[in-house]
């Protein structure tokens, strides 16, 4: 059984208007395939969007902080936008407990792979973007991404 979604909302500081977006962002392709859910309602496309939204938010924050050197902006962005950071964030909010995993994924505990947990966070960010726009992604990043 999945934890109460309000705990996730509290952890990220954001409440979805369209919970269907969140549900899709938390649905793995393997799970969808087992239940006949259309692939468009899975996390993959949300992860791509979330990665881009997070890149933008982080670069904007560096510019707002006064960073003006291209090389420094790139280096700092790379330090903040990577699988290790995103995995750590996913773990800190227990994100993988909310994900709908395929049977094989559950059996193999695939979420213990850093890349998978990081992709779950990117998918969450993509859903936040679609539900609330860049301001919502920025607010989520400010709450759980800046440490």
Which are the catalytic amino acids? 51, 122
| Helices 114-140, 5-12: crossing angle, 10 deg rounding | 60
Residue 27 DSSP one-character state: B
- The CA distance from 32 to 27, in Å, is 7
CA angle centred on 66, ends 60 and 70, rounded to 5°: 70
Dig out the tokens for 122 from the structure.
């990117």
- The CA distance from 112 to 32, in Å, is 20
Which helix (H) or strand (E) segment is 86 a member of? helix 83-92
């Amino acid at each position: 059984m999945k934890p109460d979604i309000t705990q996730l909302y509290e952890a990220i500081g954001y409440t979805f208007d369209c919970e269907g977006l969140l549900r899709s962002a938390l649905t793995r392709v393997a799970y969808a395939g087992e239940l006949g859910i259309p692939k468009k309602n899975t996390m993959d496309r949300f992860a791509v969007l979330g990665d881009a939204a997070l890149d933008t938010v982080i670069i904007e924050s560096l510019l707002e902080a006064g960073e003006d050197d291209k090389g420094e902006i790139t280096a700092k962005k790379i330090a903040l936008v990577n699988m290790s950071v995103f995995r750590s964030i996913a773990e800190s909010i227990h994100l993988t407990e909310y994900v709908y995993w395929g049977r094989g994924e559950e059996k193999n505990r695939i979420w213990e792979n850093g890349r998978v947990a990081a992709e779950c966070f990117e998918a969450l960010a993509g859903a936040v973007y679609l539900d609330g726009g860049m301001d919502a992604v920025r607010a989520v990043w400010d709450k759980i991404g800046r440490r």
